[in-house]
Copies of this chain bind each other. A is one copy, B any other.
């Protein structure tokens, strides 16, 4: 049995119908050239033959309705029905980004079934032109964005002819279960008790001023329902890097500045821009406890979005300086346990469900979460199909109605925006404004997009990198094959139809050698 950390357990105990606590990824793939009509059916059958071997996909909750509020344990599920977890759908005509966005919105609006392993995977066909999608959903108690991303990328192939596995099939030997970090959990429980006591205090006992920075009140915060609307966009990572260089800022600073610009325009359209700047919660990945693969390992810093600044350049510089200060403060925290407790507490606090009240002391902590998940630099493949885009589908924290999470894959940044459409209208309008904010930043900094030149440089780099990567890929593929053999052997003894073997994907030659994927900045 695996005992979940107090933080992960809280994602289960805090979950309500209006505050579901699962995260996901949307992957879009190009169909291989000359893919047969039954390509998707075969891919589905192939994935259905993959054993559920990898943690946490093979684990279920020991106490679905646990009476101990902060303790949750996992145990291996010996009777997993993969037909339940792996689904297969199609988009209605015309099968564009809008139909895909609506499908993901629907899939992300339902909670996971607590009597089964806490994940679902949906294959979605009919995405035009000549594409398909895969949506993977898992409870935040079992994985964070970084962890789920690793599961996905480790099981995809590095070439069209490479062997790809399913995320729930272990590509490497499973790591030993983590030791319960009892002392940390005890500290953390005390933190929660203090927080609860603080909330229940009559108002007069509270200190007059708070040192915790708070975001201004606006349409981005308040009650929400469990319904979700998903929107996407993407921008050229090289353009973002050029902006960062010109402003002596980080890529993450520029991402925050894009969000800032998009939100200013959106608030002007639907509400009003608050006098004080919006405050973002920016998750920071923490080093994992060695030997653990399950659960979240994340803290958060608070960064101003400088939405009070009209000038895009000044906004970026203010964001940059604010984030530098926040990170300095974060580093000054006592290390080891103390730092862990503080930072985890900060992140968990943002996830606590809160109602917006008229009492300014009870105003929101932060206005939204803006997260950045590192992704693979090289092209990946599933059953011969090239991974085109990879969009995070995240969770709404506390009284947030919006989350913007970004993933870098190859030479693009993929934005996944998740919102509650019952309380925050037309999140697509924010997605549309993100690339526009990049145009504005470039103009303000005197930069012109140099697409053609940049492409050539990258293409050269790619050729060199490809040769170097080839050897490493061959090695990894051999390891995967060994696992696949084990998997098949394991499945073969199960009483489930004819399992002949893991079918090798048909040899596929990409139609073009252009490696730099640059999807249109569209919205779903």
Name A residues whose Cβ lies closer than 8 Å to a Cβ of B.
37-38, 40-41, 44, 81, 84, 87-95, 99, 102-103, 106, 110, 115, 123, 125-126, 225, 227, 422
Contact = CB atoms under 8 A, between A and B. Distances in A.
A93 B91 CA distance: 11
The 3 A-B pairs with the shortest beta carbon distances in the complex, nearest first, are A90-B90, A90-B92, A88-B92
A93 B125 contact: yes
Contacts of A225: 115
A117 B125 CA distance: 31
B90 A41 contact: no
Contact of A84 (B95, B125, B227): B227
A91 B94 contact: no
A121 to B, nearest CB: 14
Given A87-B106, A110-B110, A422-B81, A93 B40 contact: yes
A40 to B, nearest CB: 6
Contacts of A89: 89-90, 92, 103
Nearest to A41: B93
A32 to B, nearest CB: 15
Contacts of A422: 81
Given A37-B93, A40-B93, A90-B93, 14 more contacts: A38-B94, A40-B92, A41-B92, A41-B94, A84-B227, A87-B106, A88-B92, A88-B102, A90-B91, A92-B125, A93-B125, A110-B110, A115-B225, A126-B126
A125 B93 CA distance: 8
A93 B126 CA distance: 9
A108 to B, nearest CB: 13
Contacts of A91: 90
A182 B109 CA distance: 39
A132 B105 CA distance: 23
Contacts of A123: 92
Contacts of A38: 93-94
A105 to B, nearest CB: 10
B90 A126 contact: yes
A106 B120 CA distance: 13
A150 B93 CA distance: 30
A123 B87 CA distance: 18
A48 to B, nearest CB: 12
